[in-house]
Amino acid sequence: MRLRIQAMQRRTIIAIVIAFVVIAIVTLYFIFDPAESIHAPKCVFKTLTGYDCPSCGSQRALHAILNGQLLDAFLLNPFLFLATPYLALVAFTAFSKHKIAVKLKPIVQHRAVIWFYIVLYFVWWIIRNTPLWSVG
């Protein structure tokens, strides 16, 4: 019984910490524009090579989403619109015992789906550094 209470307290503390971090990040993204802030982290890959990584533009896109500018966000990093829901589903099916998660897990975490996502990731990486993708 005592272990069960300690486990619940630990989960509560973890949930509070995660909620605080999420709220802090969302609040900061409403206030500070990563494109103009000197405190926003810069992409190491782009700094070293001059090429965009698949995630370049994600900070600015997240800022645009939180400020209701969906088209701007999409133009900054369209892959974010595919990656975010998929990665959220992977996390949901990996950590949840809910009936829906159990039913979705074989689909979302199927080897073919994961490889498809990985291939799309690298295809996006190549496309965004060619003249085919001149946005941004």
Q: Which residue do the tokens 């789906």 mark?
A: 113
pLDDT of residue 6: 65
pLDDT of residue 36: 72
Nearest 5°: CA angle at 50, between 44 and 56? 55
The segments of the chain whose pLDDT lies below 70 read 1-8, 28-32, 35, 37, 39, 134-136
pLDDT of residue 59: 83
Domain residue ranges of the chain, discontinuous segments joined by +: 32-127
pLDDT in tens, 27-49: 766 666 776 767 677 888 888 99
* Whether pTM exceeds 0.75: no
Q: How far apart are the first and last CA of the chain?
A: 56
pLDDT of residue 29: 64
